[in-house]
Amino acid sequence: MPATIYYDNDADLSLLKDKTIAILGFGSQGHAQAQNLRDSGCNVIVSELPGTPNYDLAKKNGFEPLSTEEAVAQGDLIQILLPDEIQGDVYRARIRDHLSPGNILMCSHGFNIHFGQIEPPPGVDTLLVAPKGPGHLVRSEFVKGGGVPSLIAVGDGASRETFALGLAYAKGIGGTRGGVIETTFAEETETDLFGEQVVLCGGVSELVKAAFETLVEAGYQPEMAYFECLHELKLIVDLFYQGGLNYMRYSVSNTAEYGDYTRGPRIINQETRDEMKKILGEIRNGEFAREWILENKAGAPAFKAYRRRDRELELEEVGRRLRSLMSWIDAKEV
Ligand code: NDP
Ligand code: MG
């Protein structure tokens, strides 16, 4: 079933006229959503942790950051734009007791509400408005007069008025200029996790690592392996982005296209597809969420170990060296 998509004319910004929007966290999404809403004429307050760079950034941008408790108490719509892994704790310690009936609790990713880490009190609807792009793009597109496509969803039992306020909010951040797709908390959360695990982060990283190591083990120079298996991926993804698989295939050589059809399915084979189904099952039944929440409660020891291990890969060492020679790529090291 094709999605329902809303545009500027479907949304009424005046619904927000007498509302105060509290943005919790002035990070990637927070700084963009807060400024776009303010530029759209909305009443916006923000909260940040005193003494942090983003607190100073909020001040520099003309906000007077409040404590979380104070911002929640003053806000009618409370948009939680804190790191996902701390939202549950911050909610219980600093948000829950300051909500009033009629408030709307918002997020830009459904993980904590969908998996029960945030359980709003009676009388408080939940609403998701999520730009499908990073915060800096949400801000820069808005300033240019455009907007990043976004998602909207309301929680169980939420009113039609909450949905209309969500569309107004989406208009305020520029989302309806790009189109706002109606979804559910479950669909947003589950597809987001699946995408990042199977394709965007997990799938692609592991594909690159395995291919690089195969070439190096076979005696090819690591620099050659780096260019073939990682660097050139950007050129291919840019073609996907502009015109899908078909445009990529139109642009590459016939030899590459033939290899794609005949060898690709041997890499992503039935076993891979079965594993994808298993991963989707673990997302849907909450197993992944439980694992990640417990990992964080324990101080994230496994997570930190994975990070250390992968930073030391030969792929990464070769890459650092090669990127330092490519002045045009805006190389980043963290
Ligand atoms: P960031 O980490 O960029 O920003 C979070 C901000 O919250 C930081 O400034 C952080 O400060 C601050 N913060 C941390 N703890 C507290 C606290 N107790 N009280 C007040 N402020 C605090 O997060 P994102 O913007 O990336 O993510 C926010 C939400 O948006 C998440 O739910 C995410 O899934 C969602 N989202 C993100 C997208 C993205 O591209 N980034 C895209 C779509 C959705 P400090 O830096 O000092 O820790
Ligand atoms: Mg994501």
Whether the CB of 109 sits within 6 Å of ligand 1: yes
Q: How far is the CA of 78 from the centre of ligand 2 (A)?
A: 21
- pLDDT over 90 (residue 224): yes
Supply the pLDDT for residue 1. Answer: 84
- pLDDT over 90 (residue 245): yes
CB atoms within 10 A of CB 113: 26
Q: Which atom of ligand 1 is nearest to the CA of 107?
A: 32
Ligand nearest to the CA of 84: 1
- In degrees, to the nearest 5, what angle opens at C-alpha 90 toward C-alphas 117 and 26? 115
Specify the amino acid at residue 67. S
Specify the amino acid at residue 150. S
3-state DSSP call for residue 311?
Answer: helix
Supply the pLDDT for residue 334. Answer: 87
- The average pLDDT across 167-181 equals 98
Q: How far is the CA of 207 from the centre of ligand 2 (A)?
A: 19
User: What are the pLDDT digits (tens) for 106-142?
Assistant: 999 999 999 999 999 999 999 999 999 999 999 999 9
Cβ atoms of 162 and 155 closer than 8 Å = no
Cβ atoms of 176 and 101 closer than 8 Å = no
Q: Which atom of ligand 1 is nearest to the CA of 192?
A: 34
Alpha-carbon gap, residue 45 to 64, rounded angstroms: 8
Q: Match 């990073």 to its residue by tokens.
A: 134
Alpha-carbon gap, residue 238 to 327, rounded angstroms: 20
Supply the pLDDT for residue 99. Answer: 98
Structure tokens at 323: 């990127």
User: What are the pLDDT digits (tens) for 178-188?
Assistant: 999 999 999 99
Phi/psi region, residue 286 (left: phi>0; alpha: psi -120 to 50; beta: rest), is left
Supply the pLDDT for residue 286. Answer: 97
Residue to mutate, 28, 67, 148, 189, ligand 1, most ligand atoms under 8 Å from C-beta: 28
Active site residues: 109
Q: How far is the CA of 213 from the centre of ligand 2 (A)?
A: 28
Q: What is the DSSP letter of 329?
A: G
User: What are the pLDDT digits (tens) for 8-63?
Assistant: 999 999 999 999 999 999 999 999 999 999 999 999 999 999 999 999 999 999 99
Alpha-carbon gap, residue 255 to 199, rounded angstroms: 25
Residues with C-beta atoms within 5 A of ion ligand 2: 192
Residue to mutate, 29, 105, 140, 181, ligand 1, most ligand atoms under 8 Å from C-beta: 29
Whether the CB of 117 sits within 6 Å of ligand 1: no
Residue to mutate, 24, 87, 108, ligand 1, most ligand atoms under 8 Å from C-beta: 108
Q: Angle formed by the axes of helices 185-194 and 270-284, to 10°? A: 140
Percent of the chain with pLDDT over 70: 100
Q: How far is the CA of 275 from the centre of ligand 1 (A)?
A: 31
Alpha-carbon gap, residue 38 to 75, rounded angstroms: 14
Whether the CB of 28 sits within 6 Å of ligand 1: yes
Q: What is the mean pLDDT of the chain?
A: 97
- The average pLDDT across 169-185 equals 98
User: What are the pLDDT digits (tens) for 267-316?
Assistant: 999 999 999 999 999 999 999 999 999 999 999 999 999 999 999 999 99
Alpha-carbon gap, residue 93 to 87, rounded angstroms: 10
Please spell the DSSP secondary structure of 67-118, one letter per residue: -HHHHHHH-SEEEE-S-HHHHHHHIIIIIGGG--TT-EEEESS-HHHHTTSS
Whether the CB of 67 sits within 6 Å of ligand 1: no
**Edge-to-edge strand ranges of the sheet holding 125-131:** 5-6, 180-182, 150-154, 125-131, 104-107, 77-80, 20-24, 43-47
Supply the pLDDT for residue 178. Answer: 96
Cβ atoms of 284 and 276 closer than 8 Å = no
